[in-house]
Structure formats: C-alpha cells, structure tokens
C-alpha cells in the first residue's frame, strides 16, 4: 500500500501562444494553463498504482500565483490532496530552484514511498528536476521510465534510453520520472471533476519551508523568449541545364557562408 506523491508543473498551453510578427516576442495573453503533459502521465501512473495496490496519492506543485487554478484539475485525476507553493520566484525558477522547493516541501509533508514526476516539463523540458530532487533527498532516481511495476517495497522499472532498454529494480523510497508512453491519462469523469472540490488542498509558503532568498534565485536568468519563424528565401533556379542550376545553388549557398 504505497504512499505516493506526484509533483506537477502548471504551464501555459503552447497552442494558445502566438508569435508577434514585428519582433518575434510571444503573446501569451490568451494562453490557458494546463498541467504539463508528462506530469499528467505521472499523476495517472500514481493513480493507477494506487487503484491496483491500495495506498494513497497526493499532489505537489510549485508555481506562481496562477498555480491555484491547477488544483481542481489535479485533484480530479486521482490524488486525494494537493499541496501548493505559490511564489513569484517560480517565474524564473530553473531546475535547481524547483528541486530545492520540492525537496523542502517533501521534507515537511512526506515521507513518500514513490515520488513521480514527468520526464520534463512542456515548456522548458530541462529533464533535471527529478534527478536533482532525488539527490537533495538522498534517494535513488529512475528516469526515462516507460513501464512501472510495484510489489511490496520493490519497484521494477523499464527505462527507455537512447540506444537501449534497461530493466532495473530498486527498493522504495524512490524518485521516478516518466515518459509519455507509460500510459494514456484517462479523461476525468464528471463525478471526479465535481468531487475535486471536496478534496483538501494546503498551501505551503516558502517562509514556512525555510527557504532563503538565495535558494529561490536562479543562477541563469532568462532575459527574453522569442518565437522561431521559418523564413524561406523562395529562390528558384530556372536554368535549362541542370549543371547551371547546381552552379547557381553553390554560389547562393556560398554567399550565406555555407561552403
């Protein structure tokens, strides 16, 4: 009967973000929030484990003030309780900061047998939070997991790596980051959505977690985010002889430094 925790990030839905043509800056004014894609898989995996083995799953999230909008969404997907840390530092937080905050929270609300996260977030996809979190908590970390089995205190996981597939076993407690192929998150039923309102949530402040300002400041500061728009040159080489076209292409490529 494992006690599980899923950590999730509340991100912007990228399909709502528009690129301003004038300066390629991003207009996120109409973007809605969503639970980061791979984190959804993590929540689902925890919910499935608990349905199979008993136990309980709770959720934890760290974000800016908007993170409160995520609670009912998360609670409609299986967790019994949601913990949340809302702080302005989350705006620029890198994986180090995120891991510090999550670790501090877990030290307060844990311990847990399994801590699940998505392999990377929808927006930054640094893939560092889980390993850093594990290191801070002094726990083993299983990453790139696409299959999970738990029996008692033994966790058996399949890890999909670049050039191989690895099966590992480890004893709980453990931090696990999952790939999207591990499961297909079910659509919350209406009763689950309505039931989310009745589930408890608890705020944790950075002050009560004893986090100093230096721990919340990212070492690398993100100065701007710009969109990438493919600019086609639209040059057509129309010589009758193929060799002439090749020569022209070579010339054109050389003129932009590709020779």
- Residue whose CB is less far from other proteins, 71 or 155: 71
**What minimum distance in Å lies between the beta carbon of 117 and other proteins?**
22
Distance of CA 189 to the CA centre of its chain: 24
Q: Which residues bind other proteins (CB under 8 A)?
A: 69, 72-73, 76, 187-191, 193-194, 196-197
**What minimum distance in Å lies between the beta carbon of 76 and other proteins?**
6
- Residue whose CB is less far from other proteins, 2 or 185: 185
**What minimum distance in Å lies between the beta carbon of 77 and other proteins?**
10
Cβ-contact 32, 57 below 8 angstroms: no
Cβ-contact 1, 55 below 8 angstroms: yes
- Residue whose CB is less far from other proteins, 31 or 193: 193
Distance CA 233, CA 68 (A): 46
**What minimum distance in Å lies between the beta carbon of 28 and other proteins?**
18
Q: Torsions phi, psi of 170, nearest 5? A: -155, 155
H-helix or E-strand spanning residue 42: helix 37-53
CB neighbourhood size of 99 (10 A): 25
**What minimum distance in Å lies between the beta carbon of 256 and other proteins?**
25
- Residue whose CB is less far from other proteins, 75 or 204: 75
- Residue whose CB is less far from other proteins, 122 or 172: 122
- Residue whose CB is less far from other proteins, 34 or 159: 34
Cβ-contact 202, 81 below 8 angstroms: yes
Q: Which residue has the tokens 């205190």?
A: 153
**What minimum distance in Å lies between the beta carbon of 20 and other proteins?**
16
Q: Torsions phi, psi of 57, nearest 5? A: -130, 140
- The CB-side HSE value for 142 (13 A sphere, CA atoms) comes to 29
Any idea what the Cα angle at residue 43 is, between residues 38 and 48, rounded to 5°? 120
């Amino acid at each position: 009967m494992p006690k599980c925790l899923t950590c999730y990030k509340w991100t912007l839905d990228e399909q709502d973000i528009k690129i301003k043509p004038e300066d390629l800056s991003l207009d996120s004014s109409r973007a809605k929030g969503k639970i980061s894609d791979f984190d959804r898989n993590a929540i689902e995996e925890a919910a499935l484990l608990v349905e199979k083995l008993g136990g309980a799953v709770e959720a934890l999230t760290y974000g800016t003030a908007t993170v409160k909008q995520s609670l009912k969404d998360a609670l409609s997907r299986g967790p019994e309780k949601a913990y949340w840390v809302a702080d302005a530092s989350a705006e620029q937080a890198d994986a180090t900061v995120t891991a510090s905050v999550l670790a501090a929270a877990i030290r307060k609300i844990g311990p847990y047998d399994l801590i699940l996260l998505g392999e990377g977030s929808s927006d930054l996809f640094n893939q560092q939070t889980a390993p850093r979190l594990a290191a801070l908590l002094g726990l083993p970390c299983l990453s790139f997991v696409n299959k999970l089995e738990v029996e008692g205190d033994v966790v058996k996981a399949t890890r999909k790596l670049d050039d191989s597939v690895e099966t590992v076993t480890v004893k709980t407690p453990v931090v696990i980051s999952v790939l999207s192929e591990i499961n297909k998150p079910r659509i919350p039923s209406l009763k689950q959505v309505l039931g989310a309102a009745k589930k408890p949530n608890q705020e944790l402040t950075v002050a009560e977690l004893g986090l100093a300002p230096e721990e919340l400041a990212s070492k690398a500061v993100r100065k701007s985010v710009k969109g990438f728009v493919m600019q086609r040159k639209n040059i057509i080489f129309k010589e009758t002889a193929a060799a002439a076209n090749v020569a022209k292409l070579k010339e054109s490529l050389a003129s932009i430094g590709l020779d």
